[in-house]
Structure 1
């Protein structure tokens, strides 16, 4: 459901050119939040913020544990998510919430020469 919402938002903002990378980054951030950041009964929230030349994806979970990139062993199934996020985004990071949990975010930019609909009021 979150991926479909992101696709719709990108189309509305004229940022469809980011769809493949943005959906993959969102999937990785959501997977991490669901596997490592959810406490029993707590949910995960997503937020998409358009920028004049790109997009910011935010995923909030209830855990105070900071995300940690690691080097998986060859053949290991898990452990590549944040490496994928780093490779596909311009920058990423996280912040803690005063009372509960954290938000992990990633920013993606349109390729040089591409214009978003936001620049033209789209």
Structure 2
């Protein structure tokens, strides 16, 4: 198993930084470009949800973990809010509310678990890996 962890400020700008870190790591691991694109979109949605819904006083940082194991790539975002995410049905003209639907559509599987260290939760999504093209 290969794994990387990052802690980023609880800020909308952190989503961009997280995507850059992920892209660099996936390039180093020689992950297929299509899988990398999907992983980047998954991370964007999970980071956006954490920034929007895990507002202070729940925590000043968001944890990001990416792991490669057993033919899968796992992208995980942790925050200090205990509330579990719930997908909702967005109306056609809604500007928000599609993040978890996108995660569910892209990921081979996804879920939520207690934060490994400390209070809060981690929301994760997994993609099957393919050979580097």
What TM-score bracket applies, with the shorter chain setting the length? Answer: 0.7 to 0.9
Query: Which of the residues 30, 36, 47 maps onto 1:30?
Result: 47
Aligned to 1:120: none
Aligned to 1:94: 112
**After the TM superposition, which parts of structure 1 deviate over 4 Å for at least 4 consecutive aligned residues?**
none
Given the two structures, how large is their TM-score scaled by the length of structure 1? 0.85
Given the two structures, how large is their TM-score scaled by the length of structure 2? 0.79
8 Å Cα contact 2:32/2:131 also seen in 1: no
Q: Distance in 2 between matches of 1:99 and 1:5?
A: 24
Q: Distance in 2 between matches of 1:29 and 1:74?
A: 21
Matched positions, count: 114
Equivalence map 1:1-122=2 (5 Å): 1-17=17-33, 18-40=35-57, 41-97=59-115, 99-110=118-129, 114-115=130-131
8 Å Cα contact 2:74/2:125 also seen in 1: yes
- What is the Cα-based RMSD across aligned positions, in Å? 1.8
Compared with structure 1, are the counterparts of its residues 99 and 46 closer, same or farther at alpha carbon in structure 2 (3 Å cutoff)? closer
| 1:26-45 C-alpha deviation (Å, 9 max, x unpaired) | 00000000000232352111
CA radius of gyration, larger in: 1
Unaligned residue ranges in structure 2 (runs of 5+): 1-16
CA deviation after TM superposition for structure 1 residue 50, in Å: 1.1
8 Å Cα contact 2:80/2:118 also seen in 1: no
